[in-house]
Amino acid sequence: MKRKTEGLYAVIDTAYVSLPEMEQTASRILGSGVRLLQLRAKGLGSGETLEASMILKKLARKYGAAFIVNDRVDIALISGADGAHLGQDDIPLPEARKLLGRDSIIGVSTHDPGEAASAQRDGADYISFGPIFPTVTKKDARSPRGVEYLREIRKTVSIPIVAIGGVTEDNAVEVLAAGADSVAVVSDILLSKDIPGKVSSIISRIKRARDA
């Protein structure tokens, strides 16, 4: 995985950000130092998802960031995104790789060691693992895995791990210390009254922890 993020993997989730707000919100996030951005557009139709993807891809190029589309390999391909993130019920990774090409970033959501090992075996560039903590971001989220389980997953795979689910500024360093390479922070950023300040603060905390 292209590692440009200082440990922060940001997500634009349409449960929190409407299409008219997307450009401004993404600009605030990317302008504060994020270098890997995902679009999660569960509630949008194909046309709106493509429109959102084109907006975010253009902004990502402006800031030198990588842009990934959640679930929708077709939208990632059409919009010229840098890659896609696949759930367990999405198109299988080998087929996604054929469509997107070997240079695309492809991640896979995992919840246990078996899924993690399978994703690595199939050629994933990274896995996400979670939910680490209780989360309200995903209505269908599984039970929290916790940082101890994350440590077990770290022993299972050698590819990068993005920890997700209930991760905030206050617990991000703890999660990274347990073996994650990056943390996906969603609501803590998107619900902040000061998004640039929140993003900068998270990145600074992570950098200080890694430099210590």
User: Is 40 marked active-site?
Assistant: yes
Q: Which of 104, 109, 128, 182 is catalytic?
A: 109
Residue tagged 């896979």 (tokens): 108
How far CA 21 is from CA of 5, 14, 36, 52, 211, in Å, comes to 23, 10, 19, 10, 35
User: Quick count: other Cβ atoms within 10 Å of Cβ 140?
Assistant: 5
User: Is 118 marked active-site?
Assistant: no
Q: Which of 28, 35, 40, 198 is catalytic?
A: 40
Provide the CB-side half-sphere exposure for 85 (13 A, CA). 26
- Its sign, for the CA torsion 157, 4, 110, 186, is positive
* Token couple for 44: 């949008």
Provide the CB-side half-sphere exposure for 162 (13 A, CA). 26
User: Is 2 marked active-site?
Assistant: no
Q: Which of 138, 187, 201, 207 is catalytic?
A: 138
Q: Which residues are annotated as catalytic?
A: 40, 109, 138
